[in-house]
Chain A
Amino acid sequence: MSGSSRTPRIPSARGRGGIVGLFLIAAIAAGCRLLLGRGIDADGGATTVVGLPEAVLLEIRVSTILAAATAGAALGLSGLAFQTLLRNPLASPWVLGVSSGAGFGLMLAMWLARLGGGAAMVGGMLLAGAGIPASAIGALLAISIVWMLSRRLGGFDPVGLVLCGVVTSATFGAGIMLLQHLVPSGVRGDLVGWMMGRIPELAPRWLLAVAGGSVGLVTIIGWRASSMLDAASLGDDEARSIGVPLEAMRRWLLVLGGGLAAIAVVLVGPIAFVGLLAPHAGRRLTGAGHRGVVLGTVLAGASMLLVADAVRQVVDLGGGRLPVGVLTALVGGPAFLGLLLQGRGRA
């Protein structure tokens, strides 16, 4: 019986309202994206077309919507895992160097593919499926390095992890710059587009299934572990004294957060700020308890990429549709600064 009255306000009425609101935003954005596309007008110029397209185009749009929603949710959950792990509201998949690790993996594969012989064969294999294996290996390599470094530094303490992430990120960044000198500029063009973030119009179905399944699984884990995540908001010693298995919990957060970040990078490239902002939006709209925050973060992350992808269908500054990563950064950067200035000290 005692369990029933525990943490009675989570998720609260406000939390439920926030979750419903976020769900509506995601649904409306998905609906808009379904009806919005690019076409050619009478003068032969590009224009925005509104309406349900024919079957082939419809399939592309549905696939794009699924990719955007899944990647956004994965980025949000990954950010939430890292923010909880590091007790740092500014943490995100970027802090752990996952994005630069993935970019490095892709660059390295391109460089190998140009070398000829056995190296070219390896590079070609890594570049199969739009470079998915290469970027996934790079992302996982970055996470493994951060993992091993922080272990060597004596455990998974938040400050040590941040330092390891920053060092790893900077090292992979330097690696990318070095390899850029070695890869012909024609090939590099693709990489620049990928580094800006792009939502694939026809991602492989297996990839969408893996990404969607992972997001669903982590959401369920987060929901079930929510009371532990709540209790872990106490200081370390206090959390341990009330029976929170802090070290094991942090290991799980690192694995799940890193894994989701890798999946998101493979799917849409290193999109900035969604992983950072979605957990904040989730917290603001659903309250303090992680039960609501996990769901809110999933919906907020999905909404952000869906809205960004819908907006870019109608915004053309002369160079075609804006890259989605540029859009999220343009909106996300100032929004994050506002968050910083407004809510200092509240995580």
Chain B
Amino acid sequence: MTKAAVRLSADGLTVRFGAVEAIAELAVAAPAGRVLAVLGRNASGKSTLLRCLAGVLTPTAGTVALDGRPLKDWPRAGRASRLGYLAQQPQLAGGFTVAESVAFGGHAVGGVAASAVGEALATVGLEPLADRPFGDLSVGQRQRAAMARVLVQVGADGVMILDEPFAAQDPGEVDRLIRVVRARAAEGAAVIAAVHDATVAHAIADDVLLLDGGRVCFAGAAGDGLSPDRLGRLFGLDFVAGPSGPTPRFGLGIMPSDDSA
């Protein structure tokens, strides 16, 4: 395999909220055409890391670079058309429709064709709800609408930062989103996604980053990172190897000592 160009990279990322250190000295690289899954227990710093990578949270220390250029040096439109972000809890005030929420993806470049909005909505399975108010959607549907917005926002080879868009979806929709993400990666997109479910990570990821208490405890190929043994230690729970990747054995495993979330 030839080494793909790194689209998004971060070095020495540290974020402190007051006295609390959310993430410390993190380094991340997202090459074109690959999907990086970020796993970790609740409050392990996944969302903080993703917000820094998306350029919506300024880190206390460290830098993030998009195509080799620090995020802060990018013009607004150029950055927005290359780097998209899906928040864990998408919000939209003011009675806009689902289609309008997707069209916001073209804000920085002055607009987006209505056909592109329709196409993106069809991709995430929300076309029938295009003219419904965004506020009427369920959490899972909102996340898919936000996914459609990101698809419209960044080109096929853009960088997508996805903060756990899978957890609130039914299995059919999880499968749809996995296929959407893999298709984008096949077109050259670099994807970084926070994932809770090891089987989803197994299906989607080329590489994994395991976070524990705001620090990296593993970074490397998905095949190595998603071993039952490693996941067992990370989550304090028994995992067995299954046909769809490592599977937690709920209700029998070693209970975790403390979950701060």
Q: Which residues on A are within 8 Å of B, measured CB to CB?
A: 1-10, 87, 227-228, 230-231, 233-238, 240-245, 283, 287-289, 345-347
Contact = CB atoms under 8 A, between A and B. Distances in A.
B5 to A, nearest CB: 22
B81 to A, nearest CB: 8
Contact of A347 (B51, B55, B76, B93): B93
B79 A243 contact: yes
The CB with the most chain A CB atoms within 10 A, among B106, B110, B113, is that of: B106
B106 A6 contact: yes
12 contacts: A2-B110, A2-B111, A2-B113, A10-B100, A233-B93, A235-B91, A237-B85, A238-B56, A238-B90, A241-B83, A241-B84, A289-B100
The CB with the most chain B CB atoms within 10 A, among A230, A236, A283, A347, is that of: A230
A7 B100 contact: yes
B57 interface: yes
A82 B126 CA distance: 33
A315 B241 CA distance: 82
B107 interface: yes
Contact of B107 (A5, A10, A244): A244
Contacts of A283: 94-95
B87 interface: yes
A236 to B, nearest CB: 8
Given A2-B110, A227-B107, A288 B95 contact: yes
A241 B57 CA distance: 10
Given A233-B96, A242-B107, A242-B153, A5 B55 contact: no
Contacts of B103: 6-7
B107 A228 contact: yes
B89 interface: yes
B80 A241 contact: yes
B65 to A, nearest CB: 17
A3 B106 CA distance: 9
A245 B79 CA distance: 13
A249 B149 CA distance: 22
A344 B109 CA distance: 34
A288 to B, nearest CB: 4
B96 to A, nearest CB: 5
Contacts of A87: 93
B112 A6 contact: yes
Interface in B111-168: 111-114, 135, 146, 149, 153
A238 B110 CA distance: 17
